[in-house]
Each structure stands twice: as structure tokens, then as C-alpha cells.
A = this chain, B = another copy of it.
């Protein structure tokens, strides 16, 4: 749902190739909240072209492969505009780590701690990456756009900090658990 519209959003700023979209646009700005891989971008570009939302021309280059440059059409701009005003449902949250924790009563405290610490390292790295993003000094015409960009970064910061706080709580809680591993859930063999 969102990826084609993100592509339209970028092409609405300037025409680009699929490769540009991946390396210049996605990986440098929205990757923190919407990572995209190349095959997906190419596929959605093909679909958008079929739908008349974008069009492309091939630029011949010497020595390098040809560039297929996509640009948005008026119909694409209309669609983007419509979508931007449409309120999306809050999507279901998926947290694979919590499944482990939920079923992890049979693990030793040390094993639980190791899992929590691995998550901690991953989320700390995320937070560091977000904090390393520098927003260039505001060009006066761009204040509005930059403010919104800063807000998207802020959400990442809020969520990663909250996650880290929870991990620290969880580490303390696990450390305080009676070290006896839980009775194994009923099994065929030991019943």
C-alpha cells in the first residue's frame, strides 16, 4: 500500500531511475521507517507505469548501462494527493522477540539475559544510527518540509528509547527471578 505512494512522493520532487530511488531516496531518508529492496521498487515502478501514474524514458549513456528515468504524471500526482489525505489504519504490531520471551519460561535466567542483551545491542545501534542523522541547516523555503522530516526521526527516537527502557526493566526483572527453570510444560515423554 505505502511503497508505491512513497515512490510517487519522491518522483513528485524530481524524476529518477529505480536505482536512484533505492540508493539516493529510500536508503537516505525513509529507510528508517520503510525499508525497501530493489526488486520491489522495480516491480512497483512497472505497476505504476501500467496504471499511468508514472512514465519513463531511456537515456543512453556511453560506457555505463542505460538509465531508465521515471517521472510522475498528472494522474500520479492526483493519486498521491488523494492518498496523502487518507488516514491509514494503525497496523498490527509484530515483534518476533516477544514470541521467544512468551514461550521462554524453560530457558535459564542466563539464557534469557543473553537474549535480552542481544536485543539491547540491536536497539542501541538503531538509536545511535538515528541520532547520527544530521539535518542540514534549514533553507527558509523548506522549513515546513524539514519540520516534518524531523518529526519522523523523532518518532524513531521515542520508540527506540522506550524499547531500551523496557529492555532494562526486563533485564532487572529476569535477574530477580528465582533461578530454578520453570517446570517443563507437559510432554508425552515425561507425563
A: which residues have CB within 8 A of B? 1-2, 5-6, 9, 12-14, 29-30, 32-35, 71, 74, 77, 80-81, 83-85, 87-107, 111, 114-115, 118-119, 122-123, 125-126, 141-145, 147-149, 151-152, 154-156, 158-159, 161-163, 165-166, 169-170, 173, 177-178, 181-183, 185-189
Contact = CB atoms under 8 A, between A and B. Distances in A.
Contact of A14 (B92, B103, B165, B186): B186
A112 B13 CA distance: 20
A186 B84 CA distance: 17
Contacts of A74: 188-189
Contact of A143 (B34, B163, B178): B178
Nearest to A149: B102
Contacts of A148: 101-102, 104-105
A122 to B, nearest CB: 4
Contacts of A101: 148, 151-152
A34 B99 CA distance: 8
What 9 A-B pairs come out closest when comparing CB atoms?
Answer: A162-B162, A90-B122, A9-B103, A87-B118, A144-B182, A33-B95, A35-B92, A2-B96, A105-B145
Nearest to A181: B144
A185 B12 contact: yes
Contacts of A30: 98-99, 102
A59 B141 CA distance: 70
